[in-house]
Chain A
Amino acid sequence: MNGAARILMLKGAGVFAALLFSLICGGVFISAIGKDPLQIYLQMFSESLGNPYGIGQILFKATTFIFTGLSVAVCFRSGFFNIGAEGQLMVGGLCIAVTGFSFAGLPSLLHIPLCILAGMAGGAAWGFIPGFLKARFGAHEVINTIMLNFIAAALISYLVNSVFAVPATVHTPPVGHSAELARLESLFSIFKGSPVNFSLALALLAALFVHYVLSHTRFGYELRAIGLGSRAAECAHMNVGLLTMTVTTLSGALAALGSANFVMGYKHYYEIGFSDGAGFMGIAVALLANNRPLAIPFAALFFGMLDYGGLTINTLVPKELVNILQAIVIIMIVLSMKLMDRWMPQFEKTSLPAASNG
């Protein structure tokens, strides 16, 4: 076996061990409330994976996670800690909803791209802010992106409740039929009843696109270069500030696309709280995929399964178990990569930036 294949296998084993260990840690929480972890996990897996409806639900959840995972991953690759995907998702979703109900009646061929562009523009604008503040002032992106999440939540709460209010609800009016994305069940009757829709195809295209940009373009090369060390990149005459702003803008647009899944493909309106932590889930997805765009759909599937599986066992174990697992997976993945780095000095550098000075 050659070296590269061996490293790949060891890496895979490391990720697998991290996941296994995370589930064991989650099992401690399950045991703590007097339930049998093995039985709970089995039930989770069988009720989510065991039937086409469950699989449709998993694919639906995974769709949003693919987008937020990609959003976080492009930033991580450039050394920027974007924890603002949640806010970008919300802003994008509202832009889609507003475009969706304002231009109802347009031909779908025009209306759908228009909504998607509007959502991307909203998310991009929200993503641009922390990138600009970092590039222009060197302001800490972690604090800024978190603050922007809170600001987005408050702003949207105002807009939905006071400007676009549908009385006695927390959602906007529905988008026009022309802006609705068809469900997969319209093509594959096996998914009957589950909300998985054609934004999944968009998500997979986005993963391919991000892979292409990162691995085959000059911009992607420069982006990775600043992630490995911005001083060296500066010496190579790269415009670090401009690159940072471009990356965070792109990242915002990607996160925002995740909202199309809900707003155009499922409920057909913007509802307060729809994001439900999907932006933060993007962090776990990106790390599990080691920030590799082509691995992100698989990582998103894993968390989609946990997320939907959590709902199926909610009567036995609070569904917040999934949030705990999400955090533990992040910790375990980071630790496993660290330990493997240490055990194998010849290991190629992982994609995480070596050090970030805050």
Chain B
Amino acid sequence: MVDAIFNIAFLAQVLRISVPYTLPALGATFSERGGVINIGLEGMLLSGAFATTAATYYANDPLIGIACGLLAGLLMGALHGVATVVLKADQIIIGIALNLFALGSTKFLCQLLFHSSSNSSRIVGIDAWSASLKNIPFVGDILENPFILFAMALAILSHYVLFKTRYGLRLRAVGEHPEAADTLGINVTQLRFSGILISGALSGLGGAWLALDQHSFTDGMTAGRGFIALAAMIVGKWKPLNATIACILFAFAESLVIQLQGGNVPVQFIQMIPYVLTMVVLVSFIGRAVPPAADGIPFEKEAS
């Protein structure tokens, strides 16, 4: 067991599994730092996964698939933004509705394109890209998958953008005290919209990764990852780097779970672990994790 855990292949597996948590969690730091709770991560992941599958299937090119996955996430982000930021509807209900929308529409389209509402045809993956890198000792396993590097780089970039740039400062101001930001001439609506768009785009990419990793789409394949990513972001105190670490910890737990499979424990109990863990971790971090002050509260400008 110990040997099975402490080796580079296991580490690579953990990082690989962390990708679909890290990308939406990073996205969520942007939307929530701007004051928009994004319960819709799950649906954005799912629509990204489906768009990637469909596009990859027809174009037979994962790059086009990834682009379409990103676009689908972006579109879901835009829907969220129009409803919650522009029209100021309740963020939680809209998020829930978007999740249901993604669940329904992906099944609908899957039935239409692949004649089964539960799974698609097989698609190519991205393994072929970097076969040569695989031979490099130690790091080869990690380098093998460009998404892993991309997610890590994105974590650092997100930290930089949120905490070291003017855009980040303004976005955070809008999430902490939109009235004050508004008084200073900052466009609250625009900034909040940008946050939710980033969140959608990154979730779409997370979905793309899921689809390409599994070489197909299955209905509800995200299996709560969007919500677990949201929990990781809360545990990570709305900070990109901490959220990434939390995602890696969740991925570590999931990898352990995979190792456990095949033993005496019924498979259903093993499947439960990530969900139970999420609840336990979330509860134990409450109080220590404080959201942005205006997170979840629509900004209503005084009547002009």
Q: Mark A148-162, 1 if CB is under 8 A from B, else 0.
A: 101100110110011
Also in contact, A158 and B269, with CB within 8 A (given A133-B283, A318-B107, A321-B108): yes
Known contacts A151-B276, A155-B272; is A146 also within 8 Å of B227 by CB?
yes
Chain A neighbourhood of B181, CB < 8 A: none
Q: How far is the CB of B199 from chain A (nearest CB, A)?
A: 15
| Interface 9-residue window, one of A1-9, A56-64, A137-145, A189-197 | A137-145
Cβ contact of B271, chosen from A154, A318, A321, A331, cutoff 8 A = A154
A147 to B89, CA, bound (A): 25
Within 8 A of A (CB), among B77-121: 83, 87-90, 92-94, 96-98, 100-101, 103-105, 107-108, 111-112, 117
Select one of A142, A155, A158 contacting B92, CB under 8 A.
Answer: A142
Bound-state Cα–Cα, A128 to B295, Å: 26
Q: Kindly identify which residue among B271, B278, B287, B297 contacts A355, using a CB–CB cutoff of 8 Å.
A: B297
CB pair A331–B94 under 8 Å, yes or no, is yes
Interface string of A264-291 (1 = CB under 8 A from B): 0000000000000000100110010000
- Find out whether the CB atom of B275 lies under 8 angstroms from the CB atom of A150: yes
> Hey, which chain B residues are within 8 Å of A338, CB to CB?
87-90
Taking the nearest CB of chain A, how far is it from the CB of B102, in angstroms?
Answer: 8
The answer to whether the Cβ of B68 comes within 8 Å of any Cβ in the partner chain is no
Answer yes or no: B4 CB below 8 A from chain A CBs. Answer: no
Measured in the bound complex, the distance between the Cα atoms of B103 and A83 in whole Å is 15
Q: Does A33 contact B (CB under 8 A)?
A: yes
Q: Is B184 an interface residue (CB 8 A)?
A: no
With contacts A331-B97, A334-B83, A339-B87 taken as known, whether A139 is within 8 angstroms of B282 at the C-beta atoms is: yes
**Are the C-beta atoms of B96 and A83 separated by less than 8 Å?**
yes
Q: Is B296 close to A, CB under 8 A?
A: yes
Cα(A162)–Cα(B269), bound, Å = 12
Q: Point out which of A29, A147, A157, A321 has the most chain B C-beta atoms below 10 A from its C-beta.
A: A147
- Determine whether the beta carbon of A327 is less than 8 Å from that of B104: yes
B277's nearest neighbour on chain A, judged by CB, is A147
> Looking at the complex, which one of B94, B101, B112, B224 makes contact with A150 (CB distance below 8 Å)?
B224
Does B279 sit within 8 A of A, measured CB to CB? Answer: yes
Distance in Å: Cβ of A120 to nearest Cβ of chain B? 23
* Range class of the A interface residue count: 35 or more
**Cα–Cα distance between A81 and B227 once the two chains are bound (Å):** 14
> For the complex, is A320 an interface residue (Cβ under 8 Å from B)?
yes
Q: How large is the interface on B (under 10, 10 to 19, 20 to 34, 35 or more residues)?
A: 35 or more
Q: Does A358 have its Cβ within 8 Å of any Cβ on chain B?
A: yes
Asked whether any CB of chain A lies closer than 8 Å to the CB of B142, the reply is no
Question: Among B103, B227, B287, which residue has its beta carbon within 8 angstroms of that of A143?
Answer: B227
By the criterion CB–CB under 8 Å, are B279 and A144 in contact? Answer: yes
- Is B71 positioned at the interface, with any CB of A under 8 Å from its CB? no
A137-B283, A142-B39, A143-B227 known; A326-B104 Cβ under 8 A: yes
Q: How far is the CA of A146 from the CA of B94 in the complex (A)?
A: 16
Does A320 lie within 8 Å of B271, measured CB to CB? no
A330 interface contact, C-beta 8 A: yes
Shortest C-beta distance, B35 to chain A (Å), equals 11
The chain A residue sitting closest to B42, CB to CB, is A146
Known: A147-B224, A150-B275. A323 touches B282 (CB 8 A): no
CB <8 Å contact, A157 and B94: no
Among B39, B287, B297, find the residue whose CB has the most chain A CB atoms closer than 10 A: B39
Residues in A with CB closer than 8 Å to B275 are 147-148, 150-151, 154
Instruction: Give the interface centre of B94, B223, B283 by most chain A CB atoms within 10 Å.
Output: B283
- B window 189-234: CB within 8 A of A: 223-224, 227, 230-231, 234
Q: Are A327 and B98 in contact (CB under 8 A)?
A: yes
B2 CB to nearest chain A CB (Å): 28
- Give the distance in Å from the alpha carbon of A311 to the alpha carbon of B85 in the complex: 36
A356 adjacent to chain B (CB < 8 Å): yes
B104 touching A144 by the CB < 8 A rule?
Answer: no
**Contact of B101 with A324 in the complex, beta carbons under 8 Å:** yes
Residue from B96, B112, B234, B297 within 8 A of A283 (CB atoms): B96
Query: Would you give the shortest CB distance from B117 to chain A, in whole angstroms?
Result: 6
- Interface residues as binary, A320-342 with B (CB distance below 8 Å gives 1, 0 otherwise): 11111111101100110011000
Interface string of B18-51 (1 = CB under 8 A from A): 0000000000000000000101000000000000
Q: How far is the CA of A326 from the CA of B101 in the complex (A)?
A: 8
Say if the beta carbon of A352 comes within 8 Å of chain B: yes
The interface residues of chain B lying within 8 Å CB-to-CB of A137 are 283, 286-287
Residues on B lying within 8 angstroms of A by beta carbon are 37, 39, 83, 87-90, 92-94, 96-98, 100-101, 103-105, 107-108, 111-112, 117, 223-224, 227, 230-231, 234, 266, 268-269, 271-272, 275-276, 278-279, 282-283, 286-287, 291, 295-298
Hey, which bits of chain A sit against chain B, CB under 8 A? 29, 33, 81, 83, 133, 137-140, 142-144, 146-148, 150-151, 154-155, 157-158, 161-162, 280, 283-284, 287, 318, 320-328, 330-331, 334-335, 338-339, 352, 355-358
Q: List 23 A–B pairs whose Cβ atoms lie within 8 Å, in order of A's numbering.
A: A33-B112, A133-B283, A137-B286, A142-B96, A143-B227, A143-B282, A147-B227, A147-B275, A147-B276, A151-B272, A283-B97, A318-B111, A320-B104, A320-B105, A320-B107, A321-B108, A323-B108, A331-B89, A331-B97, A335-B83, A335-B89, A352-B93, A357-B296
